[in-house]
Amino acid sequence: MVVPFGYNVHANGIRHHLVRHVGSGRHPLLLVPGITSPAVTWDFVASGLVDEYEVHVLDVRGRGLSQAGDLDYSLDAMADDVVDLVSKLGFDRPVVLGHSMGARTAIRAARKAPKAFGGLILADPPVSGPDRRVYPSAWAWYEDSILLAQRGCSADDMKAFCPTWTVEQRALRAEWLHTCELHAIKAAYDGFHADDVHADLPHIDVPMRLIVAGASPVIEAKDVTEIRSLAPAMDVVTVEGAGHMIPWDDLNGFLQAVAGFKANIDEAAHGSR
């Protein structure tokens, strides 16, 4: 049984909280969740990765138990957090697994520090940006659910926002969503439309895998074609039938989509010698 434990690290000028999951795997993996997902909500995913990795799940600034308040919540600030955390923690060529906003953060971090990472697993990153189509989830969905959580709510109350989730999943979201600083979430949401991560992709020279949610409107076939044109070596795996929150819909499918990626890193490292 994997028993996670939390710890705090000072990096990039603020306090970060992470949850570590340890099994037989020894290669470090930093998991960067999406826009409103504190680290604890990814425990069930992280525990499925520990045979291959030592997993560290980040509470992104302004969420969970990491520092919040009057901070910079831009994509660049979150990317700088990842770069400095990897340095402070002494990770050697870690994998960064980012979901949604976390995937965009991973892309920007790898652009900023190309030698810091062994590889990127990018789970359904929003492909919105300047002069691109808008992100398919409306802002009101985030604002209304966070304000409800701030007042105190139940798993039943969360059903209106997450109708396909289990009672346990909705209860955990109801418990932790209030820790998501509203203006941090708004800054990230606005960044989906203002930040151009496509421009970063051609500058990243580490193994990358794109995991597409097959039943989500976030990434369409034409987006995969464009991403492959910008990063020709990108692996692409589709989890058919899964919505944007892929592991919540199909945990086994998500774990299978991640499986084997470390071999790409080992091959790249061997080829660079």
**What residues are annotated to the active site?**
100, 220, 244
At 254, give phi and psi (nearest 5°).
-70, -45
Residue whose C-alpha is closest to residue 104's, from 73, 87, 125: 125
Residue whose C-alpha is closest to residue 85's, from 25, 32, 21: 32
Tokens 């990096």 found at: 11
Neighbours of 71 (CB within 10 A): 17
With helix as H, strand as E and coil as C, how does the chain read? CCCCEEEEEEECCEEEEEEEECCCCCEEEEEECCCCCCHHHHHHHHCCCCCCEEEEEEECCCCCCCCCCCCCCCHHHHHHHHHHHHHHCCCCCCEEEEECHHHHHHHHHHHHCCCCCCEEEEECCCCCCCCCCCCCCCHHHHHHHHHHHHHCCCHHHHCCCCCCCCHHHHHHHHHHHHHCCHHHHHHHHHHHHHCCCCCCHHHCCCCEEEEEECCCCCCCHHHHHHHHHHCCCCEEEEECCCCCCHHHHCHHHHHHHHCCHHHHHHHHHHHCC
